[in-house]
Amino acid sequence: MSPQIEACSAVSAFRVSVNTQEARIKRQQKASPTKARDGIADTHPLGVGKDRTLQAQRLLSHPPQSLHLVAPVWNGGTRGIGGLSRVVAPEGNQKKGRSLLQFLADRFYDVEALRDHLLRKQVSKVHQKNRPFNHINQRYGPYVAGAYFILKQGGAVRFQGREWIRPNQRGHFSLDFLKLQAVPVEAVDASGCAINYQGLDSLLALKELQSLWLQRCPHVDDWCLSRLHPLASSLQELSLAGCPRVSERGLACLHHLWNLRRLDISDLPAVSSPGLTRILVEEMLPSCEVLGADWAQGLKLGPEEQPRDTAGPTPA
Amino acid sequence: MLRRTLLLGLCRGPLGRGLGTHRGGSILGKVEGRGGYRGSWMAPSSSSVTFRTQDPAHDVKTVGRLGGGDRDGKMSEIKKKIQSILPGGDWNPLYDTSYLPPEGSDVVIVGGGVLGLSVAYWLKKLEKPRGAIRVLVVERDHTYSRASTVLSVGGIRQQFSVPENVQLSLFSVDFLRNINEYLAVADDPPLDIQFNPSGYLLLASEKGAAIMENNVKVQRQEGAKVCLMSPEQLRNKFPWINTEGVALASYGMEHEGWFDPWCLLQGLRRKVQSMGVLFCRGEVTRFVSSSNLMKTASGEEVNLKRIHEVHVKIDQSLEYQPVECAIVVNAAGAWSGQVAELAGIGNGPPGTLQGTKLPVELRKRYVYLWHCPQGPGLETPFVIDPSGTYFRREGLGHNYLGGCSPTEEEEPDPGNLEVDHDFFQDRVWPPLAQRVPAFETLKVRSAWAGYYDYNTFDQNGVVGPHPLVINMYFATGFSGHGLQQAPAVGRAVAEMVLEGHFQTINLSSFLFSRFYSGEKVQEHNII
């Protein structure tokens, strides 16, 4: 029988219903067609005309049998009472959409917990990528450990006097550099890698690093920039182009890097005024060549400076 | 509908709200309601829940496929209404009581600033099982117009002389760095506290050089990244400084700087609301407590007090609500002394534990914002002069924020938050101009004043329970460095409340009993 009808009949204590077969069939016909009708009414332990208080109790207490694993709260009578299991036949796209939404809405806290879990999994994936390789550090030394860390992330490394080592498209790289324990790393290209504040531990051990490219790294932010000061004596080239989280506040702590000769701070979306920032950074690092936004970027032309080539063709 | 209202109206007592408390738990399932109790409601048994659904909309005869969807919606509305009417719900036919706090709460936090919200956050985070503790935050100033949090300059440093302060700051910086993991709320944008990692530069004259070296040793031991600089190195690094009179400088390289305290406050507020903490706009006017005369192990008699009720007076009204509570946390900032007096702390002969008041007072401090076009550039740290004057860069337009703490004799009257501009001319500008010659030409753009919750005893915070009023916990008295230690102090107080002892950072030297025993934990680096 339709749950709606049963709910109403349970709460209305004075509703008189006819306990005949015809009445039952009529009610079934009026009921929602998504419910199966194969003899459920015949096997109903309680006739409708029987014991209303019992039905009321059943409605208000937990539904005794349920296929769904939800906490037993009052469900507004939308699911069967009397512990009847129902086969819900899908009836058309609209019905299916609505029952899917209803399904999700009934399990709000489960969905929220699932979303929370997925988010935390994403965060822990980044953490996992930035774990320190202590055993490699102990066995092969800090240069090899740093190089391994960068290569594992997908970046490239150049040892002093050698060529660039890059992983191939699959992410595999040769382990020849394991024997270069005493050779310092000169250049690191960590563009696009998921390096974050924790991961910089491995980089800061490379004391003779001269060139560091952190282009388009999604997790490099102002906190990471404040950590770069141990490399001050050797670092000559730094590129931060396209990092979405770097702002002018992080750029302010690059003044520790007194040996810096080339700095690339173009395309930083989080910097509020790129032109002014470039001027201030150039003042802060006088011996450094700063590649950044145009000085006039963001400035509006005054009325008398408007281009006057509106009328007439340009002379040949 | 009318018939039903009459039925219910007759069943209730003449007043919608009455005495006593009745909370939650109807037979219809869990009802999370505020506003409490409904009068002499007879307990409904299932058989006597008789609701006549005579409305034509719910007539059985009209049910059918077309009415199917509407029915679900209408039924759930009806069920919601029933749930709110039954005991525990918040429907009141006589008048709206949604502005009142609940009639009972496990923990009542007096003060909704950054310290109070931090305690609420950590209580909710560390409680087991989830949802076990009901927390109420009472804040009388919902615009935070006089709160120390939002009027502060927002600096965070590890350069303290007391090791516990260094540990507190280190944890707080860690919290701020991972703020989007701690305070993440589903579907809300991530927080940007605009942290400037520019560091603090403390300058010391000849007299203070030895103390500074000692302090730096302590700070390095705890894990702070601080380096010492000679005047020569100072001139190389910051050419705009005049190093006359400076013997030594300590410069924080990492984890120090300044941030936006309003953003932290809003982030905490949002997160704490999503965790189920209740807020109330009101003022605590009275504590109802009971005393017990107990004997200590050595036979001495002590009068232990326990607070049972907190009377919360609603803003701009004479109405108050008595809130039954198990624990009261005093995080009222500059007004903590007054709240402690309400609880009877300090009522006794002077020199005894009963007579020891909470030595936290209001102190007014001024902050000035000026513009100096030739001033120091982007690399300016938070500079603190040996004379106590400080300044920091603000934004990219050569604006600077700064001020100075007045001496005891020239303390301004804390009755209002009016700014004294002569103070800048006489006390702040001369040392600044001497230290940074570019500041000889500057123009003050604006100024404001804020309160310090100044601990007159030793200028360090008070954390933990009171020895006599056993269920009042303090989280106050930080004298100007409360904002930067708030996340860590919140966790310490939550651990104290939930476990009974400090677990992560041991703050036993910050307990109240030191005021009676006289053991000062003097913090030297107070600005």
Residues of A in contact with B255 (CB under 8 A): 226
Rounded to a whole number of angstroms, the distance from the CA of A58 to the nearest CA of chain B is 9
CA B276 – CA A3 distance, rounded (Å): 34
Q: pLDDT by residue (tens digit) across A14-47?
A: 444 444 555 555 565 554 444 444 444 444 444 4
> Hunting for tokens 């950054």 — which residue is that?
B114
Specify the DSSP class assigned to residue B427: I
Taking residues A112-136, report their average pLDDT. 91
Cβ–Cβ below 8 Å for B47 and A57: yes
The answer to which of A101-105, B7-11, B294-298, B394-398 has the lowest mean pLDDT is B7-11
Which whole number is the average pLDDT over A46-60?
54
Distance to chain B for A283, nearest Cα, Å: 7
Comparing A140-149, A289-298, B390-399, which segment has the lowest mean pLDDT?
A289-298
Token reading at A23: 């009445």
A157 to A154, A196, A258: CA distances (angstroms)? 10, 18, 23
Structure tokens at B239: 């050419």
Using CA coordinates, name the residue in chain A closest to B70.
Answer: A4
Q: What is the pLDDT of residue B87?
A: 76
* pLDDT at position B43: 41
A56:B27 CB<8 A = no
Two structure tokens written together for B329:
């946390």
Provide the pLDDT for residue A218. Answer: 94
What's the token pair of residue A194? Answer: 């998921």
The CATH fold assigned to A133-291 is 3.80.10
Cross-chain residue pair A227–B46, CB shorter than 8 Å: no
Bridge partners (DSSP) of residue A243 are none
B170-196 b/e (C-beta count within 10 Å ≥ 16 → b) = bbbbebbbebeebbbeeeeeebbbebb
Q: Enumerate the domain spans of chain A.
A: 133-291
Examine the pLDDT at B38 and tell me if it is beyond 90: no
Nearest to B269 by CA among B137, B173, B126: B137
Tell me which H or E stretch contains B392: strand B389-394
Distances (CA, A) of B174 to A200, A221, B189, B256: 16, 14, 20, 11
Question: What is the biggest distance separating any 2 CA atoms in chain A, rounded to whole angstroms?
Answer: 102
Q: Pick from B46, B177, B254: which is nearest to A57 by CB?
A: B46
Q: How many other C-beta atoms are found inside a 10 Å radius of the C-beta of residue A19?
A: 11
Asked if residue A204 has pLDDT above 50, the reply is yes
* Mean pLDDT of the B319-325 span: 95
Select from B47, B53, B378 the Cβ nearest to the Cβ of A8. Answer: B53
| Core vs surface per residue A227-251: b (16+ CB within 10 A) or e | bbbbbeebbbbbbbbbbebbbbbbb
Of the candidates B47, B60, B255, the beta carbon closest to that of A5 is on: B60
Above 90 in pLDDT, residue A6?
Answer: no
CA-nearest residue to A275 within chain B is B396
Q: Kindly tell me if the per-residue pLDDT of B489 is higher than 80.
A: yes
Best mutation target, B71, B80, B175, to test chain A (most A CBs within 10 A): B71
Burial group, residue B237, by CB count within 10 angstroms (0-12, 13-18, 19+) = middle
Query: Residue B73 corresponds to which amino acid?
Result: G
Query: The dihedral of CA A218, A222, A227, A231: what is its sign?
Result: positive
B64/A8 touch (CB, cutoff 8 Å), yes or no? no
Q: Which of A53, A222, A284 sits opposite B197 (nearest CB)?
A: A222
DSSP single-letter state for residue B248: E
Q: What angle do CA B260, B261, B266 make, to 5 degrees?
A: 105
Q: Which two tokens stand for residue B175?
A: 């919290």
- CA atoms within 13 Å, Cβ hemisphere of B445: 12
Compute the distance between CA of residue A211 and CA of residue B285 in angstroms, rounded to an integer.
Answer: 64
What band does A59 get if pLDDT is binned at 50, 70 and 90? low
Read off the pLDDT of residues B404-445 as tens digits, 9 standing for 90 and up: 989 888 899 989 999 999 999 999 999 999 999 999 999 999
The residue among A5, A14, A58, A74 with the most chain B CBs within 10 A of its CB, best to mutate, is A74
- Tell me phi and psi for residue B252, to 5 degrees: -85, 125
Q: Is the C-alpha dihedral spanning B80, B81, B85, B90 positive or negative?
A: positive
Helix (H) or strand (E) holding B236: helix B231-237
Could you tell me which residue, B59 or B141, shows the higher pLDDT?
A: B141
Express as a percent the part of chain A with pLDDT over 70: 63
Which residue in B has a C-alpha nearest to residue A277's C-alpha? B396
Residue B253 burial (CB count, 10 A): 19
Q: Give me the pLDDT at residue B55, please.
A: 45
The number of residues making up chain B comes to 527
**CA A41 – CA A43 distance, rounded (Å):** 5
pLDDT per residue over A229-288, tens digit each?
999 999 999 999 999 999 999 999 999 999 999 999 999 999 988 999 999 999 999 999
Q: B-side interface with A, Cβ within 8 Å?
A: 27-30, 46-47, 49-53, 58, 60, 63-65, 68-69, 71-72, 75-76, 79, 177, 181, 184, 186, 194-199, 253-255, 257, 377-379, 393, 396
User: According to the model, what pLDDT value does residue B82 have?
Assistant: 86
Per CB-CB distance under 8 Å, the chain B contacts of A298 are none
The rounded radius of gyration (Å) of the Cα atoms in chain B is 28
Across the interface, do B197 and A4 touch by the CB < 8 Å criterion? no
Q: What ipTM was predicted for this assembly?
A: 0.78
| Distance from C-alpha of B123 to C-alpha of B134, rounded to nearest angstrom | 10
pTM over 0.90: no
- Amino acid at the residue B121: Y
For B87-122, what is each residue's pLDDT tens digit? 777 666 777 778 899 999 999 999 999 999 999 999
Q: How far is A223 from chain B (nearest CA, A)?
A: 7
With an 8 Å Cβ cutoff, are A112 and B186 in contact?
A: yes
Candidate from B51, B52, B253 with C-beta closest to A229: B253
In this complex, do B53 and A11 lie within 8 Å of one another by their Cβ atoms?
yes
Q: Taking chain B, what is the end-to-end CA distance rounded to the nearest angstrom?
A: 66
> Who has greater pLDDT, B67 or B475?
B475
For chain A, helix (H) and strand (E) counts, in that order, are 11, 7
Report residue A157's pLDDT band, with 50, 70 and 90 as the boundaries.
very high
Compute the distance between CA of residue A157 and CA of residue A188 in angstroms, rounded to an integer: 5
Tens of pLDDT along A279-314? 999 999 999 999 988 777 666 666 765 555 554 444
Spatial contact of B488 and B505, defined as CB atoms under 8 Å apart: yes
Distance from CA of B60 to the nearest CA of A (A): 7
Whether B282 shows a pLDDT value over 60: the answer reads yes
Contact A12 B52 (CB under 8 A): yes
- SS3 of B313, please? strand
Res B224 pLDDT > 60: yes
CB B505 within 8 A of CB B196: no
Closest Cα of chain B to A303: distance in Å?
24
Rounded CA gap, A230 and B191, in Å? Answer: 29
Q: Which residues on chain A are in Cβ contact (under 8 Å) with B378?
A: 248, 251-252, 255, 280-281, 283-284
B376 to chain A, minimum CA–CA distance in Å?
A: 10
Residues B152-160 have a mean pLDDT of 95
- The DSSP code for B279 is E
For residue range B332-361, what is the model confidence (pLDDT) as tens digits?
Answer: 999 999 999 999 999 999 989 999 999 999
- Distance set, CA B140 to CA A63, B144, B477 (Å): 46, 9, 19
